[in-house]
Structure 1
């Protein structure tokens, strides 16, 4: 008897081949039959008639480095079909670390990734110093999905160089050797890669560029060489200079040294691609250079996002009135969100707030984000019930305000209080230079593309892009109205086979006999995202944005059903993945 049999579903196996209706059987966490009719009965069976059955989604860009210790469901990714997730991106992380390093690593994670420091202070057990010990701590828990980890440049450099790392001093040969030894030890223990950040916008709490921002080639190539010497497949990942829109052309020089690093060491290299308004066509040049690099023996895969990239504004998070005196007073006087919403609806309070200047400090280091509605209302789009992430220019706050004959901030204020104060406003800062998603489609279809940038676990009050795996199907396969869509089989392959293959996870990513039983059973007709919502469920009651999905009949991890009918079952069969498979 099989442990689980899924019957009569449209099997989209992740290879890109056309879907075929058939059955799947699972025993001991492994696929034992894929396709045809399973003659055996299952201890449990799922009728997948009218459903698609896919490999579990492999998300290669998250920041669950801290959350693994206080949320073993790994929300929100668990609600979007993700069965394997990679953490430790963009140079940040928590190992190696001496006790004297803890606060710096926490505040840097807070500054770079918008994860509240108080959440991390409560949630991190700090039972480790070395990276192998960190992996052991992760491995001690079960999760709603499988977890793999990279080692970050920031903790490594800080551990070796101390204050000199924070000052971004050049690393002498002995420090490069010490860093290389730490990274080699991490890879031998099961790290699936090394990450670094060279983004000028990534700053410490003191406002300095994060350690490693200006690391010279001898440091980067030295670490990469140590990784290559292990003989294991590991990824060199970075957030490169220029990705944030500051001097975007600097990304061209970054890609040049990445090509040489990959060709010399044999390591696959992944970096980030976003379209900026200042250089709206540069992404195409960078992606094409990755294809050209294959001829010199390099393997570069830029991570791309499948929807506009930016932030969300709203009353529960950040908005343009946070720095106004009357708002601060009312906020301090109220004891609940509902009371705040009711008070703000008072005409006298509304009038006072709208008439004031931005003079107060809210205590939120990201408070300035809300001011974009003041200075760039044409970049702000109220989200309606249709959750349109491809809005028209006429849908912008500026256009709607002009059509209504009111000031943009007046309209923002009134819309902000609708839906019981839950209205969200999309601010597409990247990937929307032409006010449509045509360029995103071209990125996704590019032969060098690697889908990523979901940022699960990070930017908790700013975005909720961990829902991108669902968007891949709800928008690109069935929902898009303003241009071409993706074929179902291609869309699935991008976030299963392609992401798994890049990290060397050969035991997952496609539905084949002998592979891990990580799957989704999806009602594609019903699949949809819900409105992002703010919850206060983090340690200490801190706020984060979550975006749910409907349409997942089942998500299965290592043969165990972790979600059924869009609801967490409480099962935690996921485990640490040590190295490529």
Structure 2
């Protein structure tokens, strides 16, 4: 007898090998056997005939840093097949911290990751100071899936330097030494790695540059030495790469000094449409030179959800909208249905104190109705701008009416990055590179404007089944890309594979039924703050460490998830492989 047997599914083991019809037996949270017609009997058995059986998704780019301290369920990631998430990316987080800096870190997270400050003020207990204290606070709350955390550069810098750190003053040699020591202590205590941001795009809620922008080489190298002192840890970087050669030289030096792997975010931005090609050239050269450098790539556009319930839509900067912006949704919709209000708002010039909104408001060629199921690779001819031109009307009229649809709950899709040419062909080139990783889901972040947490599901539905506008990928390679590949990239070698000794993290999927639903807004964060949510049909069951945690997207009540402390070795019997 064993605890669980998943019978007769089409098993994709996560290695990229061709699938086979087999049983998967589980005991004490780990896979003990995979093969056809196993004689083992399970205390529980699941009939997976006609279904796919895969490892659980290992999502290495999320921002659940606050949520993991107050919520046992890592939704929506865990309802969409993730069994492991890595938080603490992009240099933002909540430890280490001194009491006087709580608000500074909240304003930083609110600005960079669009997580409501009121929810963070209400939800965070702040019963920690050191990074180890923070990890202990995370451990005190049971979770549905495994979570790992990284040391965020912003919090570390403010902790060591106080207001000078927040103001981006240069660190002294003594302060660099302290950051080195604290990084080593956190990694030794179980932090999975260190993250930083070096992009001008990231700002605090007050519009200020984040504390880590422009951090000097000496500071970055001191932190890399902290990883070397601990003998472990990964490096995660976000950068504009404005001075590409200089920046890459720094990343390479950090890897050499630390002796640890590094990943950076890579997207195609409209303002530098060919930068990703130059990044790939340098990435490939690093790999040839024996440096374990990877680029994290999103498998679809980084897309804004524009809507009356969200953080952004084209009319926020119109004077007439300012008069109704604080009304509840029903009040906004009632006001906007007034023909005189509609005509007046559409005719107005925008206020100049909303530069970001105004920059997207005129980009009618990049605004699309999302649809059901949502279409994340829309044809440019379907944009509201092109449709308006064909109809001979002002594009703002179509946009206005689309936002008011469904009682104001509708969202328009605005592909902000990865869609310069109006297709995902360049994204496919990025994904096909062996030195890239499937990432950038941003689970738990941008809760009022972006809902890319469903990327692992989209990789299966769009890239392996539904795409009509270009080449696809094979299921086995996509499954490997978000299980074994992502797990190994961050040192979690005990998961991502369905083979004896590995964690029994499993998805049972009805591939014919697998379908993403449109994102929608819920108000379930502390203080009733909003966040975008997304669901999918087709996840028959998600199993974490041998326990079924979701059936058809509904929680079972099981909470077997753990805080991961540091790198995890491969199972003993398979370590040689």
Q: 1:339 to 1:236 in 2, by over 3 A?
A: same
Could you tell me how far apart the structure 2 residues matched to 1:517 and 1:303 are? 26
TM-score (norm 2): 0.95
Aligned to 1:130: 130
Matched, 1:358 2:368: no
What is the CA-CA distance between 1:322 and the residue it aligns to?
2.4
Could you tell me how far apart the structure 2 residues matched to 1:146 and 1:389 are? 29
Tell me, which stretches of 5 or more residues in structure 1 are unaligned? 362-366
Indicate if the aligned counterparts of 2:13 and 2:498 stay in contact, CA closer than 8 A. yes
- Map 1:260-409 to 2 at 5 A: 260-317=253-310, 318-332=312-326, 334=327, 336-359=328-351, 369-372=356-359, 374-409=361-396
Indicate if the aligned counterparts of 2:111 and 2:202 stay in contact, CA closer than 8 A. yes
What is the CA-CA distance between 1:251 and the residue it aligns to?
3.6
Could you tell me how far apart the structure 2 residues matched to 1:373 and 1:152 are? 30
Tell me, which stretches of 5 or more residues in structure 2 are unaligned? 569-577
Aligned to 1:423: 410
> What secondary structure does 2:453 align onto?
helix
Aligned to 1:575: 562
Could you tell me how far apart the structure 2 residues matched to 1:487 and 1:27 are? 31
Indicate if the aligned counterparts of 1:263 and 1:297 stay in contact, CA closer than 8 A. no
Could you tell me how far apart the structure 2 residues matched to 1:463 and 1:528 are? 19
Could you tell me how far apart the structure 1 residues matched to 2:325 and 2:168 are? 40
Could you tell me how far apart the structure 2 residues matched to 1:75 and 1:509 are? 20
Aligned to 1:180: 180
Aligned to 1:253: 246
- Map 1:167-566 to 2 at 5 A: 167-232=167-232, 234-242=233-241, 247=242, 250-317=243-310, 318-332=312-326, 334=327, 336-359=328-351, 369-372=356-359, 374-566=361-553
Q: 1:411 to 1:372 in 2, by over 3 A?
A: farther
Indicate if the aligned counterparts of 2:313 and 2:361 stay in contact, CA closer than 8 A. no
Could you tell me how far apart the structure 2 residues matched to 1:564 and 1:526 are? 14
Matched, 1:147 2:147: yes
> What secondary structure does 2:296 align onto?
strand
Could you tell me how far apart the structure 1 residues matched to 2:141 and 2:306 are? 35
- Map 1:74-85 to 2 at 5 A: 74-85=74-85
Deviations 1:513-558 (A, max 9, x none): 0111101000111111111111111111111111111110000111
Indicate if the aligned counterparts of 1:260 and 1:298 stay in contact, CA closer than 8 A. no
Count of residues in correspondence between the two structures: 567
Could you tell me how far apart the structure 2 residues matched to 1:152 and 1:576 are? 17
Could you tell me how far apart the structure 1 residues matched to 2:552 and 2:30 are? 22
Shift >6 Å, 4+ stretches: none
Indicate if the aligned counterparts of 1:328 and 1:360 stay in contact, CA closer than 8 A. no
- Map 1:56-71 to 2 at 5 A: 56-71=56-71
What is the CA-CA distance between 1:339 and the residue it aligns to?
4.5
Aligned to 1:364: none
Deviations 1:293-331 (A, max 9, x none): 134332211111100113110122122222334434345
Deviations 1:163-206 (A, max 9, x none): 22122122121111101111111011100100111111212344
> What secondary structure does 1:476 align onto?
helix
> What secondary structure does 1:171 align onto?
coil
Indicate if the aligned counterparts of 1:57 and 1:509 stay in contact, CA closer than 8 A. yes
Could you tell me how far apart the structure 2 residues matched to 1:290 and 1:427 are? 29
Indicate if the aligned counterparts of 1:48 and 1:521 stay in contact, CA closer than 8 A. yes
> What secondary structure does 2:137 align onto?
helix
- Map 1:98-109 to 2 at 5 A: 98-109=98-109
Aligned to 2:573: none
Could you tell me how far apart the structure 2 residues matched to 1:464 and 1:374 are? 20
> What secondary structure does 2:464 align onto?
coil
State the Cα RMSD in Å: 1.7
Indicate if the aligned counterparts of 1:11 and 1:35 stay in contact, CA closer than 8 A. no
Indicate if the aligned counterparts of 1:90 and 1:196 stay in contact, CA closer than 8 A. yes
What is the CA-CA distance between 1:225 and the residue it aligns to?
1.3
Q: 1:368 to 1:538 in 2, by over 3 A?
A: farther
What is the CA-CA distance between 1:80 and the residue it aligns to?
1.3
Could you tell me how far apart the structure 2 residues matched to 1:392 and 1:449 are? 26
Q: 1:264 to 1:180 in 2, by over 3 A?
A: closer
Q: 1:289 to 1:330 in 2, by over 3 A?
A: closer
What is the CA-CA distance between 1:373 and the residue it aligns to?
5.0
> What secondary structure does 2:78 align onto?
helix
> What secondary structure does 1:34 align onto?
strand
